[in-house]
Structure 1
């Protein structure tokens, strides 16, 4: 035999050995995961027990939250969604995982998002001590004082937004059908700009504006990154990030992402210069506005006494505020308008409450009158329940000592979570979870809703998460939603247009189990909920 033939024979032999070793490894892993893993007793889809591919696939489709709900329908309140992960769907289980004293930490999921090791923000910080410090600063950003000063700006933007919606129409004349989704994105984006950077981005105005694309860019970013956070190579991805992957990803980043990064950096630099100027004015006794960025800029490191944030960390926190302050509130307001315009009884009761409570537009502001609008709050809560802004689970990893969930001991290292969308569509908790019924939040003998019914519903209601990882901006979000809905429905009437224009955002038979009904607003899961529609028609009221 010649040398070349011998080399080929040896190469083929070792290729066969390598291939056999790979097959053996995967077969062995599958057997272990199915029969010998500490999680072997938990039910779930067979391929989810042996691989993370099913979870990854459904993340790619944007309907992973629906898949999780489907699995709970089949396997019960606890199922195995990946070889080392279980999903829990009970109010008590939720508290065990996300409660303040839960023996867990944030999962590897969060380590995918930072563009490098220096650019961590409050959301993607895994270390609990560092996160606690960042969170204390963020709590100051959303303090009661800060929220009171924000209201004037929220009202100004909402009123201008409504004016733009109907400015081309005479009173009592319906507008042409319009997709409200991008218009709502621009409303909250402009509010965020004013509250965080001291200037409106003017994206809601009708003239061309390059900043109009920013909300869409952030949505596309999450749609692109989210599947990797649910992939079988998550651990490898996180390991590679500081070892060259971050550098590669930064070099191949799409132009839209680069433009977004430059936009945030420019906004931070401009606001930093403004804050330095305002500091001098405050020192001289002048009354100047203190917005979100002021608290970030003024935060101190408890160890050194110096600034708590480096410039790149300021960039990261600002980026978080832009995304969290726009996308989350926008999906809820879209859901609200979808459901309220498709439920005439609820629409009539809500508009009657608003228009009889307030004598004029100037009265619609935070205070006793707005707080007395119980049905308005119930309508918003019901939209939050039907379409939570974070539809899938917030991943947690069990720490040393394990975790007890509904009587089951979960060992260290297991990934656990609860899908907000599944929990808030739980049949045993809500009875009719697919029905938009604001009355479920108000105890009333006439409607047959008892105090126990309301308490049971509230125990499973976590649209802003819970514990140390809950949404710092939830009070601001609720203020925005209350003012936006009340002032809009005081000034204009809204309705769903006739078919086929009324189908945008609605379910369809092609979407399958859990998304078939045309009376349901469909969101996609990209960590944040994303949406299209609904289509609305509006007409100005004669007040």
Structure 2
């Protein structure tokens, strides 16, 4: 009898295994041949399973692969069983625009699972999103930013001073003037210090003080790992729900726990301050929204405040820092663009302190074009933000996509769409200014049509109702920071460090361009370099 029982158990096991194999084969055949999206081209693994997105997210090269896939297949690429990537300006409007018939996809549920609450960025419910966004929009409005202007300028002032500091022991002059150059600085690191200090000051009334102390700089290593952990689990939530993520991404659970704990710590510290902060910071607007809630229920629960804290820290810092580093990288590799910027900024301002938000700065067209072009080539969020199609579907380029389909436009891919940006890997700020001539031999003059095309595909801050509410703040930081550096200093790539940050021969396909700042796609872009030195220019007036 025991033998027969064992034999029966073995038979059941065999039947179970065979059923599982048949089910797997059935799913694969359905997704490849009979699924509504089966006709769209894409990587074989992506058509079958979301493991494709998980693997590419772990490698940090999804942005490169999206570009390559669209170059090969055209407008539409199927990158998941129920996911389509679109690489056109029409797709950008239909998926993210103010009239888009889409919503956040279930990808964003992972944020709720980790933080046990929703932020204004990640909440899927449109009505709840509208309530939260109204509050954050007021907190980051033009009037609110003006009230925090001195805090922002104080940090930018410290940043500029720190970059100009000379190497210790360099007091003795040298015939070649080398003694006048500052200590080499990795601008990715220093832009991070600046951006995080500004955001902590204006959001929580408590600076991380990274510009002057190493104590909190560990955050810069910890946060991207946590964000990328969310990114990986967003594509395949089972990794988090069943606790198997560490098998494929060692340290995943630890990184997520550290990220959540850090956000909770910052939220708790700020709550303890109450309203006694000396100024009206961003967090105080969240607390005020709870106090004035007409329904009696808080707009932001304690867990929501933690989730919002994570958004404010990461979304408001990483992307701005990447834009600063990338703008300086391209100015260093395109000296004619730098010379035109110097010619625009230096005569316009009589002193360093006169460079501040206002009409004089906002009308620096070449400055704005230099920043926009850097964000185009190297977007702070290089990947794809998925949206779920709602009832009645979405039609793009004559193709109808059914409700429930996930659609998205990869930022890096559309920013290098040659139909919108000819010679897309060249740094050409003139492409953003009507009537502006290029420095090339043909002296091409940018037309209104070319500028309109460029603007139609530009999504460094995303677009539509779900676009970045901190865009105005970010642009003020960027304009003031770059203008002050250009006005105050002559700049160069540190000798021996000229290639840091760029691509090169022998790198993987898509990373071979020396004059492109290379990024690792960890949902937010992570970079290295440029390594620069600064020398106070002659005839500056403080």
Q: 1:23 aligns with which of 12, 21, 46?
A: 21
**d(CA) in 1 for partners of 2:317, 2:402:** 38
**d(CA) in 2 for partners of 1:54, 1:34:** 15
Which 10-residue stretch deviates more, 164-173 or 25-34? Answer: 164-173
Change (3 A) 1:398 1:460: same
CA contact (8 A) 1:72 1:79 kept: yes
Change (3 A) 1:252 1:387: closer
User: Does the alignment pair 1:480 with 2:477?
Assistant: yes
Give the alignment's Cα RMSD to 1 decimal: 2.4
Per the alignment, residue 9 of structure 1 pairs with: 7
Per the alignment, residue 248 of structure 1 pairs with: none
How big is each residue's C-alpha offset from its partner over 1:381-440, in whole Å with a ceiling of 9 and x where there is no partner? 001101111111111111222111222110111111000110010011111111011011
Q: 2:332 aligns with which of 341, 345, 349?
A: 341
How big is each residue's C-alpha offset from its partner over 1:321-360, in whole Å with a ceiling of 9 and x where there is no partner? 1111111101111111111111111111111211111111
Which 10-residue stretch deviates more, 515-524 or 312-321? Answer: 312-321
Matched positions, count: 519
**d(CA) in 1 for partners of 2:114, 2:224:** 20
**d(CA) in 2 for partners of 1:62, 1:32:** 30
Change (3 A) 1:103 1:372: closer
**d(CA) in 2 for partners of 1:276, 1:414:** 45
Per the alignment, residue 441 of structure 2 pairs with: none
Per the alignment, residue 290 of structure 1 pairs with: 280
Matches within 5 A, 1:210-229: 211-229=216-234
Per the alignment, residue 522 of structure 1 pairs with: 518
**d(CA) in 1 for partners of 2:120, 2:380:** 18
Question: Can you give the 5+ residue segments of structure 2 that lack an aligned partner in the other structure?
Answer: 172-176, 246-250, 439-444
Per the alignment, residue 271 of structure 2 pairs with: 272
3-state DSSP of counterpart to 1:73: helix
How big is each residue's C-alpha offset from its partner over 1:283-327, in whole Å with a ceiling of 9 and x where there is no partner? xxxxx6222122111114644246432333222212211111111
Report deviation, 1:141: 1.0
Matches within 5 A, 1:238-387: 253-254=253-254, 261=260, 263-277=262-276, 289-300=279-290, 302-305=293-296, 307-387=298-378
Which 10-residue stretch deviates more, 168-177 or 322-331? Answer: 168-177
**d(CA) in 1 for partners of 2:57, 2:301:** 34
Per the alignment, residue 490 of structure 1 pairs with: 487
Per the alignment, residue 284 of structure 1 pairs with: none
Change (3 A) 1:240 1:345: same
3-state DSSP of counterpart to 2:416: coil
Per the alignment, residue 99 of structure 2 pairs with: 101
**d(CA) in 2 for partners of 1:431, 1:117:** 42
User: Does the alignment pair 1:198 with 2:205?
Assistant: yes
Matches within 5 A, 1:430-449: 430-444=421-435, 446-447=437-438, 448-449=445-446
**d(CA) in 2 for partners of 1:252, 1:176:** 36
Q: 1:536 aligns with which of 529, 532, 535?
A: 532
Report deviation, 1:240: 6.4
